[in-house]
Structure 1
């Protein structure tokens, strides 16, 4: 039986809803549990790529498109894994980076481009034996790059901010997923809506979260992700939160999210490493006690003999 990794896409047509952040932090938690993770950055903004060493904003600006995900879309380039796949500074995480040159391949009508629609799927199949989890970040629109990601995927996760404008695009995401299912990937499933960037003290967030849970019922994940400063600090340090500060509330939210991803994908994927690693307990070192009494007796006995 061939090894088949879990392929999960983070997608919404609206920007600023935590798509990239979700991929970045869940990747860290999947890897922390011992899973081999591949990140495919399909957003020309390349925010995910810039969040990981050895890359940064300058490195991405200078990156040759032939050494990026662009090679999967341009027939003139060599898309072999050794050309576009990079190890990051985080154990168990590899990356195929994006760059601005990817923009011109984000065609508005993907169905007009034949086998190009399968470009990501072919690559994922080629490297599937080397990874347990594949996470794909997408641009804030429903065009070619998102389409190709969904063609390659098992599941789509849609982060959404619990506010009016953010929630309005959900129906378009649903239709887009259904189009992929009907024409290119019948195995694709919508994992659901992840309520993200939550501010519990904002009454409007509490109201809209409940509205979405009532409207979409089981499609809304039980876990949600708060809007907290430490997520920005993690990006600055190029380290996902559960590897950076595993005990803070934000880490607990990501841990709960990854647990729920495992649960919702359990029908199709087994064998993934789901156990949360336990911290190593440090044993306080004890200095051996000086045997002063024995020393004194020996000294006293020696002195008496000398006397």
Structure 2
């Protein structure tokens, strides 16, 4: 199982939509995929059709709590099945309390890694939708991951926050997870009609040459509606530009393991 963390400490960059769309895209290519909602707001859980995440049990918080207290986790415990073919480990507000608990836990950065190891034989991919912060849960996700995908909105401030995230990833690679790589940066909410968006996209591609996915996710009303319609972009607008962009991104992600090592990002060095 390859585990990918989708991370950006800046909120509102299309991270959750990208996590869901990429996971469903991989599923459509015949891959067995587990989505992990690692945000106490439960946006991914709601997006996939569970509008009251606080009523769900068990969730990611409960299962990580079991790992902390050395209790066994049973097969398929807490995992929900979505009609698109992906599975979901949901989250709710209890995750906020767990983050406080993690501070004093033994091996606190590796709790999520231990949890995901219990299902690694059943999936081809696990995608972790990280919360928009660089706290203990995000460190857990980065410690559990084989690689990171960084969604970045083609605006000045979200792009400016890239360096802080990259420093965090580099620190996790040095201290906690030597295998961690950066698969790449994916530009989201790109408005090709504006000079500003085009300019920032070009700046990011120049600054991180070879480390930005070719696929750009366009700004799309349909993509924004995914979160309220409880449908994937492939069902909501199968012939639209956003669906095509996510299909292209899916192909790029599938090709990563088939390409020479030099294609992989050395941003973590």
Structure 2 partner of 1:170: 162
1:19 to 1:108, Cα distance in 2 relative to 1, 3 A: farther
1:81 to 1:146, Cα distance in 2 relative to 1, 3 A: farther
Residues 2 and 124, structure 2, Cα contact 8 Å, conserved in 1: yes
Structure 2 gaps, min length 5: 261-269
Q: Secondary structure at the match of 1:246?
A: coil
Alignment length (residue pairs): 258
Structure 1 residue 183, shift from structure 2 partner: 1.3
State TM-score, norm by structure 1. Answer: 0.78
Structure 2 partner of 1:154: 146
Q: Does 1:70 align with 2:61?
A: yes
Residues 32 and 243, structure 1, Cα contact 8 Å, conserved in 2: no
1:71 to 1:266, Cα distance in 2 relative to 1, 3 A: farther
Higher Rg: 1
Q: Secondary structure at the match of 1:137?
A: strand
Q: Does 1:145 align with 2:141?
A: no
Structure 2 partner of 1:299: none
Alpha-carbon distance in structure 1 between the residues aligned to 2:210 and 2:38 = 28
Structure 1 residue 107, shift from structure 2 partner: 5.2
Equivalent of residue 36 in structure 1, options 32, 37, 41? 32
1:259 to 1:188, Cα distance in 2 relative to 1, 3 A: same
Structure 2 partner of 1:298: none
Alpha-carbon distance in structure 2 between the residues aligned to 1:46 and 1:247 = 28
Structure 2 partner of 1:241: 233
Equivalent of residue 13 in structure 1, options 9, 14, 32? 9
Structure 2 partner of 1:219: 211
Structure 1 residue 212, shift from structure 2 partner: 0.9
Alpha-carbon distance in structure 2 between the residues aligned to 1:17 and 1:190 = 18
1:122 to 1:258, Cα distance in 2 relative to 1, 3 A: same
Q: Secondary structure at the match of 1:198?
A: coil
Alpha-carbon distance in structure 2 between the residues aligned to 1:197 and 1:109 = 34
Alpha-carbon distance in structure 2 between the residues aligned to 1:46 and 1:86 = 14
Q: Does 1:206 align with 2:201?
A: no
State TM-score, norm by structure 2. Answer: 0.89
Q: Does 1:80 align with 2:74?
A: yes
Alpha-carbon distance in structure 2 between the residues aligned to 1:101 and 1:109 = 12
RMSD between superposed Cα atoms in Å: 2.2
